[in-house]
Amino acid sequence: MNRSCLRRVLRAGWLAPVLLAGCVAHTQTQDGEALVPLSEASVQPGQLQPLLATLDGGSIPVEAGWRWLLAHEPAAAESAYRGALLEELARREQAALSIVLSAADRARVSKRVRQRLREEAELERGAGADVERWCRERQQRSFAVLVGILERDGEVELILQRAICTRTLLSVQVDVSLIIAANAAKAEELLAKLCAGAEFAALAREASEHESRAQGGRLPRLPWELLSPGARSGVAGLAAGQFTAVLPTRDGRFQILFLHARTPAACKNREDALAQALAAEPGAALDGAAWRRGLMFLEELYKLRRTANLAPLP
């Protein structure tokens, strides 16, 4: 996921964050630097209630609003759901890696947010556009509310970038190619060709069912943890230049992996890795592919498995 995608995820409709309030448990920290969920940003501790409204002595629970959102605004529900997962990943990594956002970090985030809103308003309505009026009319939010939402968006993005970079420095990296086959018989046939001397990249281009076939099966350098358990067990005993036996994939297909290189972790402890990530940060923005790999890495780290049913409820 690139950063523009991340922004779109966290800029879900105004109702979505409210409906998700309280769906994820959050812990308090003593230093006041822990990430506050977007849905709780303007609510004092202890005041958050799982209700949308009271009506003639009765109440409309959050669950009813969530069902309505699923039925009538499924795209907003999807965005809200993903936003909640991203915020939870950011919260956990902030605590695990001691990532602290300074006043200077927040000031930079706020400056970028305000600058971007002005640019968007002027792009649509011309130089000198009234940004606050544009926010009310085009975004259907006040300027202050929209700035607050996007500042939280920026903070989540910054925390996740630091976490991804830090985790990468702490991880063994592997450079691998792979061939994917739909069934075991086809995979064994391809393995036999490799054992008979076929060149791995040429065979991948010819027969692999993975999108990497155009690159001869070559994948970007990956953290060790991002390989599936089966792939890790297969690659663990390889030397550079060797390939695995046929291994199952997560989606029920079969794979053969070729190890080009295994690189030790760049840092041995969290403090050094975070310091190095911070030092490199000004000129090391993550591109879209790096974001996707990084988020997948964090999902694997926390064994995240999505379970929400995003189909409209009866």
pLDDT of residue 308: 62
Say which amino acid occupies 70.
Answer: L
Instruction: Give percent of the chain above pLDDT 90.
Output: 57
**Per-residue confidence band for 25, with pLDDT thresholds at 50, 70 and 90:** very low
Site of tokens 């089966």: 230
Q: What integer is the mean pLDDT of 191-209? A: 95
Q: Where are the beta strands (DSSP E) in the chain?
A: 51-55, 58-61, 173-181, 222-223, 247-248, 254-263
Residues 6+ apart with CB under 8 A from 242: 258, 259
Q: Count the alpha carbons within 13 Å of 273 in the hemisphere toward its beta carbon.
A: 22
Look-up of token digits 């409209």 = 312
The tokens for 135 are: 């926010």
- pTM, entire model: 0.74
141 has a pLDDT exceeding 80: yes
Question: What are the tens digits of pLDDT across the range 274-284?
Answer: 999 999 887 77
Q: Which of 74-83, 129-138, 175-184, 230-239 has the lowest mean pLDDT?
A: 74-83
Terminal alpha carbon distance of the chain? 32
Going along the chain from its start, the domains and CATH numbers come out as 3-169+271-301 (no CATH), 173-264 (3.10.50.40)
CA–CA separation, 79 and 5 (whole Å): 10
Task: Label residue 259 by pLDDT band (50, 70, 90).
Answer: very high
Buried b / exposed e across 46-68, counting CB within 10 Å, b at 16+? eeeeeebeeeeeeeeebeebbbb
Q: What is the pLDDT of residues 174-194, one digit of tens each?
A: 999 999 999 999 999 999 999
Q: How many CB atoms lie within 10 A of CB 108?
A: 14
Q: How far is CA 180 from CA 44, 72, 205, 253, in A?
A: 52, 39, 11, 7
2: pLDDT strictly greater than 50: no
What the block records as the tokens of 31 is 């230093």
Q: What is the pLDDT at residue 48?
A: 54
Enumerate residues 6+ apart whose C-beta is below 8 A from 12: 76, 79, 80, 83
The pLDDT confidence band at residue 81, using thresholds 50, 70 and 90, is confident
Q: What angle do CA 71, 72, 76 make, to 5 degrees?
A: 100
Measured CA to CA, the distance from residue 25 to residue 33 in angstroms comes to: 17
Whether 211 shows a pLDDT value over 70: the answer reads yes
